[in-house]
Each structure stands twice: as structure tokens, then as C-alpha cells.
Amino acid sequence: MYKQDLIEVHQRIEPYIHNTPVLSSKLINEIAGTSLVFKCENFQKMGAFKMRGATNAIIQLSEKKRKKGVVTHSSGNFAQALSLAAKSLGVKAYIVMPSSAPQVKKDAVKGYGGEIIICKPTLEAREATAKEIEQSKGATFLHPSNDMDVILGQGTAGKELLEDYPNLDYIFVPVGGGGLVAGTILAAKHFGNNCKVIGGEPFEVDDAYRSLISGKIESNKSTNTIADGLKTQLGDKNFPIIQEGIEKIVRVTEQEIKESMLLIWERLKIVCEASCAVALAALLKEKENYKNKKIGIIISGGNVDLSTLPFS
């Protein structure tokens, strides 16, 4: 299921995204005792894989719906992705952001042409404000990760990676809202050669890990992690895909995230978010299990505040 969908989604969004480069580092391979390739979605348009899902979700709308625009609530990469994807497709994007969102993120959304609607910094206010826009403007609400069109869009990163490296044994991805991991599971199933998907998750926000154990969607009481992109929880669309298809989730400490992030910056010479480093940290934590395997890692994004890096 979904093989043909992934092929069609990919064809559909190709004019609007980059087929991002794949990098590797001899030294990281030596440290890991295995052979690693990094799919660099930090080089994706607007700097993150979210551009894929956002583009697909908008293209899938009817002409009539497109005319009325799209709305989401996010202060992260999906807000920027939806703004840019909408602009590329000539669609209006309304972005509900909490008043607490940093100016730099507001500027980024504005820069990509999104219209910002500020609300109180609570989930309730965000949802209510988005609902209001849906009603007053007729805009279609798009969820950052719990939407099948978004999930299939995110899956095209793994599909591209497997087209270049068809014999990967494993793909490691960070687990946040579940869109990327669910999409990657579908890509690995249909385009891999017995390729398994492993999730990395910070101990501090290990809702997906706990969800797999309890069999229902768990949430986080606190979200004290440097991996900001991973604070969200799974949804009813992506959870069943993850339950069925994921090999396992490996949890990592904040220190392990920082060390892996430094390794990526120092050795791959790329700017990436802490969230991406979670996937490498998960591999390194259990590297004994992957000796001489072929591993892919998805570097999910590169939108970082360079004035507050965790390296000093």
C-alpha cells in the first residue's frame, strides 16, 4: 500500500523541491564502525524536509480550496514550509503563531510570504485561532505531521535516498510529530531492499517510545530538550504506520545529542538542527548492533539560531 502514491507524490512535488545531496565522513564511519550516508534535508528549500509534505498537501487541494488558502498553527519549520510552498503555488497561507514565538521565526514566515496571526501562547488558543481562520476565510487547515498527504510528502526524502543507495540495511530518523518517520517507513517498505527504519528520540520527550509500549498515543509532561523539533506528539494517522513498520525507537540523552551534533558540524561541515543529531546519537548509542551495515541517516533540517549554539 502507498507505493504508487509515493511515486505520484514525488513526481508532483519534484518541481518545487530539491533532490538534496548525500554526504558522508570517513571519520564518522570509523567512530560508528559502519558505513553511513547522510541525506541532507538541511539543504532542502527553506531548510527542512517539511517543504516536501507542505508542498504535497497544498497541491492535493482542489482548485476551489486552493483559492481560499491554507492555515496551520506552528512556530517551527512547518510554518515556514507552508508559507513558501503556498507562495510557490500561488496560494495564500495563514500562520497562527503564539505571541511568545521568537522574532526571527516570525520574520522567516513573513519572508516566505506567510500571513501571521498572533495568538496567546497556549495550545487551546492556537487551535481556536486556526479554527477561526478556517471559518472566516474558508482556508483549509493543514496539520504538520498527522495528515496522509504530508506523510507521503515527507516519505519522498527516504525514497530519494534509497534510489541513490538501494542497499541500505537501516535508515535512522528523528521522531517528533511522526510525519517523517511514518513517511520513511513507507518509503523503506516499498523502495528498500529489506531496509528497516529506526527512530531516535530524546529521553526528555520520549512520548513515541512510550506510545509503542502502551499501544496508545502518549504525550510529554515536560519538553526539556535542545531538540526543539521533537517536542510534538504522534497522531492517529501516523501512529498506526509507525506501530506496524518501525524496527524500534532508541532513546538518547541531551549530552549524546550535543556530542552527535558537534560531530556532524565538525566533520560533515554542515549546519543542522539538534533534532537531526538525535538520529546519529541513536545509532552511536547502539553501534555494536550495526557493525559493517549500510546505514542512512536523514538530516532533517538546518534552521538554527546561530547566536545560541550548545558548543561552548
Binding site for a second copy (CB under 8 A): 21, 23, 40, 42-43, 47, 262, 265-266, 269-272, 302, 306-309, 311-312
Q: How far, in Å, are 23, 110, 294 from residue 196 at the CA level? A: 20, 39, 11
What is the closest distance, in whole angstroms, from the C-beta atom of residue 310 to a second copy in the complex?
Answer: 10
Catalytic residue among 74, 75, 83, 145: 75
* Cβ nearer to a second copy, comparing 129 with 300: 300
Could you tell me if 268 and 38 are in contact, meaning their C-beta atoms sit under 8 angstroms apart?
A: yes
What is the closest distance, in whole angstroms, from the C-beta atom of residue 221 to a second copy in the complex?
Answer: 32
* Cβ nearer to a second copy, comparing 125 with 270: 270
Distance separating alpha carbons of residues 290 and 226, to the nearest angstrom = 26
* Cβ nearer to a second copy, comparing 4 with 308: 308
What is the closest distance, in whole angstroms, from the C-beta atom of residue 267 to a second copy in the complex?
Answer: 9
What is the closest distance, in whole angstroms, from the C-beta atom of residue 311 to a second copy in the complex?
Answer: 4
Could you tell me if 272 and 42 are in contact, meaning their C-beta atoms sit under 8 angstroms apart?
A: yes
Residue 75 is among the residues annotated as catalytic for this protein = yes
Output the 3-class SS for 204-219. Answer: HHCHHHHHHHHCCCCC
* Cβ nearer to a second copy, comparing 77 with 129: 77
Distance separating alpha carbons of residues 220 and 208, to the nearest angstrom = 9
Scanning the structure block, which residue is given the C-alpha cell 512556530?
75
Residue 50 is among the residues annotated as catalytic for this protein = yes
Sheet containing strand 115-119, edge to edge, reads 115-119, 93-98, 70-73, 140-141
Residues with a known catalytic role? 50, 75
